[in-house]
Structure 1
Amino acid sequence: MARRRLVQRLQSIASIGFNEGRIGFITICLKDKNINLDYCRTYLVVDERQTKILEVAELVSKSEGKILFISRLHPDLIREKIIGEIAEAIWLSERPNERSIPPQQLGKLLQRISIFVKKEKPAIVFLDGLEYLSLFNDFSRLQMFVEQLNDIIMESRAILLIAVDPRLFDQRSLAKLRRFAEIVS
């Protein structure tokens, strides 16, 4: 009964739903198409520009999920671009700051994400900056990072959305990323 009231309350642009056999999901309407984002899943948001990941983040921010947005953009710019609630924003930068993490420190980034998804329920993590991380880490290390991140997401019943510009990765690298993630296009 409580689930039904929650679903009815959120039946606008973004909503949370529950079906038999599914842990839960968020439904967003993206370009006249409803997309279900299941908890415990990783998604690749394929886009040559940053517009789609920001659009998805804005739609998801209208749900009851807590958002962690990781990007090359400064956290203040992220908050300007996304109309909605963002619980935390992390800046991928070499500049020392309490809101930033250097791109070489993938372990520190994993730790911050892990703490967030364990503390905030339901948690939705956006990673915009995979290509920037690839400049400082070889692809095998980056792939291992994404796979560890996927494990954290499944274990904590969160959602992970990773922005990917297909022009910046070769087909083999994209295929490796697609192995464990669904495509949002």
Structure 2
Amino acid sequence: MFSPFTCILCFLVGVYLWRKAQNRPETNMAISLLFMFSIGAGLDFAMSISPDRSTGLIFAQGVIFVALVCMGMIFYLSMRQLPATKVETLLRFRYASVVIVFAVATAVALTINEMGLDRWGYNVLPSLGLTLAILTYFIYVVLSIAVLAYAGLKSDDKIMKRKVMMIAIALPMPLIYGLTTILIESLSDFRFARPIMPGFTIMVLLIAYAIWRYKLFIEVPAVAETKPLTAPRPQAQTQLGRTYLVESKKVTMAYELLMDDLSKGAHGLIITREHPEMVREAWGLAATPILWLASTSGRDRIDPTNLSILQHTIVEHLRRGERPIILMDGLEYLLANNKEEKVLQMVLGLRDEIIVAQGKLIVPVDPRTMEPKTLAFFERDLEIVMHGE
């Protein structure tokens, strides 16, 4: 009963997350994890109804393999909650980590060789293989909870702390449930049909609640910069107190200009149509605030139609930091969602604020995507930096 329910539950939660969340590594890993859990529950059900012992053993080994791979994925997701420098270290060794997780899961799964048959079907009997599987699961749980506790202590975000707490509570549920059933069975004649699967069901229900209530894996967590930035030498030199229109087919040059200033101690702000985590990973950024131009509501997002909020946010940044630098990537998107004169008026207003604050505004644009007349308006009032690529 619990196996089919858990299989369907994991699949539905995975589909919900896939529809609600944005395309980023952490979310994709969480979706894959839920689908893997769904497969594991399906294999558990197949094991219980197997026609013979040898077939049941194959499914049992599959259940153990999937369960341990899932725990490796959970440990990886836990590590993703750490400060940026530690996450970057993890990303450098991600391929080796995948090999280790799969190797351990395979080795432990192949040690499963004792099967029993009761009125509920085939199940794994207590053996060395099962002991190794439980021990490996326990190690993953302890490591994951330790990492989550550290991440929660380092974060000032109350929602982040609640997300971490929900995951930390959910992870040991299969072990707690299994130990509870063993204790009850040792003290009475009552026997449980599946001593572990209901624990996984409880764990998935808690994770599903965290996804629904606290937008777990849906919103991008805030991170902190803890190391100096390095940047390639830009192909053009810029000055404070100027607003630059960077005309290029790609945004690379605009980001190189920004990175050059950040490496010299400037305080940056990025406004972009791209997902913030993709920008952070591409340019090695962690503390530099990134605002996402998106029509959906959420933290660190600005509706492209709300130009007054966008302008106010930029002005506040100019007034707070020393040598403030702003990269506003998404001019075409703003023009598509607002009247042309309002966008131009906002940019000109920002240009004046830039002069007063002795900051710098970098506006990348692909000239192929704009009407010549519209482009000419911006070229007339801004400093032009041109690049062919």
Question: Normalized against structure 2, the TM-score is what?
Answer: 0.38
CA contact (8 A) 1:79 1:86 kept: no
Residue of structure 2 aligned with 1:165, choices 366, 375, 383? 366
How many matched pairs? Answer: 157
Equivalent residue for 2:166? none
The structure with more helix, counted as a fraction of residues: 2
Residue of structure 1 aligned with 2:323, choices 122, 125, 142? 122
Gapped regions of structure 1 (runs ≥ 5)? 1-12, 15-27
How far, CA to CA, are the matches of 2:237 and 2:286 in structure 1? 20
Is 1:65 matched with 2:269? Answer: no
Residue of structure 2 aligned with 1:143, choices 325, 344, 350? 344
How far, CA to CA, are the matches of 1:177 and 1:61 in structure 2? 25
User: 1:38 is paired with a residue of what secondary structure?
Assistant: coil
Is 1:87 matched with 2:288? Answer: yes
- AA aligned to 1:133 is L
Change (3 A) 1:56 1:85: farther
How far, CA to CA, are the matches of 1:124 and 1:49 in structure 2? 20
- AA aligned to 1:154 is I
Change (3 A) 1:85 1:159: farther
How far, CA to CA, are the matches of 1:43 and 1:167 in structure 2? 18
User: 2:238 is paired with a residue of what secondary structure?
Assistant: strand
Q: How does 1:10-159 map to 2 (within 5 A)?
A: 29-31=233-235, 35-84=236-285, 86-159=287-360
Equivalent residue for 2:65? none
User: 1:173 is paired with a residue of what secondary structure?
Assistant: helix
Equivalent residue for 2:7? none
User: 1:179 is paired with a residue of what secondary structure?
Assistant: helix
After superposition, the C-alpha distances for 1:24-75 in whole angstroms (9 at most, x for unaligned) are xxxx8334xxx33111110011111222223323333211101100000122
How far, CA to CA, are the matches of 1:111 and 1:177 in structure 2? 20
How far, CA to CA, are the matches of 2:239 and 2:258 in structure 1? 15
Is 1:184 matched with 2:388? Answer: no
How far, CA to CA, are the matches of 1:65 and 1:180 in structure 2? 24
The structure with more strand, counted as a fraction of residues: 1
- AA aligned to 1:29 is R
CA contact (8 A) 1:42 1:150 kept: yes
User: 2:237 is paired with a residue of what secondary structure?
Assistant: strand
CA contact (8 A) 2:269 2:327 kept: yes
How far, CA to CA, are the matches of 2:380 and 2:368 in structure 1? 18
Change (3 A) 1:146 1:29: same
**Aligned-pair RMSD on alpha carbons?**
1.8
CA contact (8 A) 1:65 1:121 kept: yes
- AA aligned to 2:346 is F
